[in-house]
Amino acid sequence: MNLYDTLPEAAPTVFGAEAVGSSAYDVLTVDVPVGSWIPALETARDKLGCTYFDWLSAVDEPGTGFRICAHVVALEGHRVRRLLLRTTVPHAAPSLPSAVAVYAGAEWHERETFEMFGVTFTDHPHLVPLLLPENFEGHPLRKDFVLAARVAKAWPGAKEPGEAHDPDAPKRRQMLPPGVPDPNDWGPLKGQLPPAPARPARTPRAGAPTRRPGPASADAPAEAPAVRPARRTRSVSEGSASQTAPAEGTPAEA
């Protein structure tokens, strides 16, 4: 039997006593501690035949840390065996040994993860920014990263129709999507914005129908419902009211 077929139950035997294996959606997943990260990658390559490196990235788990994930594949004839190796580094000191010595294809994946999440990969040959401009500050894929563009620029759909044409008209509070702080609490206009004006109470329009009265009390006399007169109908032979001949003695209209 192939050693791969014994997973995930045999994960502690294959990857170490602290390894935890699971399987979902036809993907085997093995979680290992930080100290076993490089040995686990070597085991996947040398013992399980996972010689194809697919991708490496991270997931920001608030209260837990950054979960580093590496997806590797074993190609056996016409069969594809996938393995997801994971480990977790703390938010306070996100550091992990580089996997470039095991999988050369991990080089730019680790650069991207370093840039987007701030995870440092020790012994990486060229750990420099990959996608963002040189003067960019912060790590945009962290959950606590503030969307500065939405603070400097109003969120689309934040204004009611017609608000832009009357600067003195009362405005409603601008919509703030999740992750965006109040512009008066963070950003270039911090402490400079007046408090949002209260929205005036609505007044009934002229000619608008009034609300129906509530149910009458037991002491009040009940009013008889209004009786609508029966609608007069005419047959085809009688014609319409405008076609009726005037009665005798009644002058016809000019």
Q: Which pLDDT does position 36 carry in this prediction? A: 96
Highest mean pLDDT among 42-51, 127-136, 145-154, 199-208: 42-51
87 is in which domain, residue-wise? 3-128
Average pLDDT over residues 143-160: 65
Q: Which helix (H) or strand (E) holds 157?
A: none
Query: Pairing state of beta strands 52-61 and 65-76?
Result: antiparallel
CATH assignment at residue 93: 3.30.460.80
Q: Which pLDDT does position 218 carry in this prediction? A: 53
Q: Which pLDDT does position 60 carry in this prediction? A: 95
Q: Is residue 238 part of a domain?
A: no
Count of domains in the chain? Answer: 1
Q: Is residue 87 part of a domain?
A: yes
Q: Is residue 98 part of a domain?
A: yes
Three-class secondary structure of residue 208 per DSSP = coil
Q: Is residue 8 part of a domain?
A: yes
Q: Of residues 163 and 87, which shows the higher confidence score?
A: 87
Distances (CA, A) of 86 to 2, 34, 178, 204, 215: 22, 9, 28, 62, 67
Average pLDDT over residues 139-158: 72
Tokens of 183: 């512009």
Per-residue pLDDT reduced to its tens digit, 86-98: 999 999 999 999 9
Q: Which of 111-120, 127-136, 154-163 has the lowest mean pLDDT?
A: 154-163
Count of positions (residues) in the chain: 254
Residue 175's pLDDT band (cuts 50, 70, 90): low
Q: What is the DSSP letter of 90?
A: -
Q: Is residue 85 part of a domain?
A: yes
For 202-216, give one letter per residue: b (16+ CB within 10 A) or e.
Answer: eeeeeeeeeeeeeee
Q: Of residues 50 and 238, which shows the higher confidence score?
A: 50
CB 180 within 8 A of CB 196: no
Q: Is residue 107 part of a domain?
A: yes
Per-residue pLDDT reduced to its tens digit, 178-235: 566 676 777 667 777 776 555 566 666 666 666 665 555 555 555 555 566 556 555 5
Q: Which pLDDT does position 84 carry in this prediction? A: 97
Q: Is residue 138 part of a domain?
A: no
HSE at residue 16, side-chain half, CA atoms within 13 A, is 18
Q: Which pLDDT does position 254 carry in this prediction? A: 47
User: Where are the extended beta strands (E) located within the chain?
Assistant: 20-24, 27-31, 52-61, 65-76, 79-89, 95-97, 120-122
Q: Is residue 145 part of a domain?
A: no
The answer, as to whether pTM is greater than 0.75, is no
Q: Which pLDDT does position 193 carry in this prediction? A: 73
